[in-house]
A = this chain, B = another copy of it.
Amino acid sequence: MEKFELHILGCGSALPTTRHFPSSQVVNVRDKLFMIDCGEGAQLQFRKSRLKFSRLNHIFISHLHGDHCFGLLGLISTLNLLGRTASLHIYSPCGLEEQMRPLIEYFNRQMTYPVLFHEFETGQPSLIYEDRSLTVTTIPLRHRMPTCGFLFAEKPRPNHIIREMIDFYRIPISELNRIKNGEDYVTPEGEIVPNNRLTRPSDPPRSYAYCSDTLPLASVVEQVRGVNLLFHEATFAEEEAPRAKETFHTTASEAATIAREAGVGQLLIGHFSARYEDETPLLEQARAVFPHTLLAKETLCVPI
């Protein structure tokens, strides 16, 4: 299986603690790195996770609260010091470029590479990134300001050709693409060789959904249905449910309910309130609802 894994750089919430950095993650898809959120210290954690700056070309910002984007300026400046030339693409709700551009220019007198902002509306899901093997779609969330999560989905891949069968039927190379895409083969004699004798299915496409910060939403259940891994914020334990609602956050058991209803493979919870010195109670509350739950943790790497 080709690489598809998630690195947690920070999983605390807005107030700093001695245990957590603010929000930031990196999705590694076949050695292309995609950063999600960029809280203060993200570049330090990036190095600590032994990731390569040269592999990072795309950063996705969920919303314009400081704990999700204050690390951008340092990261952008570091890439400049390193003499980067490739464009860096930043995807975010509207407003970020207007805030950041003057500081990027002030603190980097000579930029060695372009920083390109791509701003999106947060009201409905939209496809904001696509390459040969991956799409990234926004997941509308409900927080105290325009906020989106992100759905990373591998594209389905063509079937694998079974080389021995191609040789056996002496199938010409010109036919191979059609066969990979699922068609049967008709021999010169008119015999139909069904596709499933010529190919074996490729690995099923995998997907990862990131949802932070937000109230628990039924629309999220629909949009993340069946993903292999769901990261959902669980800022609070059940005891703080009123506080969660008031601040537009989610409790651990609410996050687990979403995971269960959406039938995801695995749930990872994070964005922990600074009040918890130990998140075990959050894990227990979530597992009571959805057993396949993990606690996020700095430098944790989860294969998808």
Contacts and interface: CB of A to CB of B under 8 A. Distances in A.
Interface string A67-100: 1001101100110011000000000000100010
Interface string A277-295: 0000000000000000000
Interface stretch (A15-23, A127-135, A217-225, A253-261): A15-23
Interface in A13-44: 14-18, 21-22, 40-41, 43-44
A41 B16 CA distance: 9
B81 A40 contact: no
A65 interface: yes
A93 to B, nearest CB: 13
Contacts of A47: 16-18
A283 to B, nearest CB: 23
A180 to B, nearest CB: 43
A107 interface: yes
Nearest to A95: B106
B103 A64 contact: no
Range, interface on chain A: 20 to 34
Contacts of A64: 106-107
A67 B78 CA distance: 9
A66 interface: yes
A204 interface: no
Given A40-B43, A44-B40, A47-B16, A66 B99 contact: no
A215 to B, nearest CB: 19
Contact of A82 (B15, B48, B99): B15
A102 interface: yes
Contacts of A41: 40-41, 44
Contact of A78 (B14, B21, B74): B14
A107 B70 CA distance: 10
B44 A16 contact: yes
Nearest to A49: B18
A69 to B, nearest CB: 9
A40 B107 contact: no
Contacts of A16: 43-44, 46-47, 74, 78
Contacts of A77: 14, 66-67, 70
A78 B70 CA distance: 12
Contact of A21 (B44, B71, B107): B44
A281 to B, nearest CB: 22
Report the 8 A-B pairs with minimum CB-CB distance, sorted nearest first. A40-B74, A41-B41, A66-B77, A66-B107, A70-B74, A16-B44, A18-B48, A16-B43
Interface of A: 14-18, 21-22, 40-41, 43-44, 46-48, 64-67, 70-71, 73-74, 77-78, 81-82, 95, 99, 102-103, 106-107
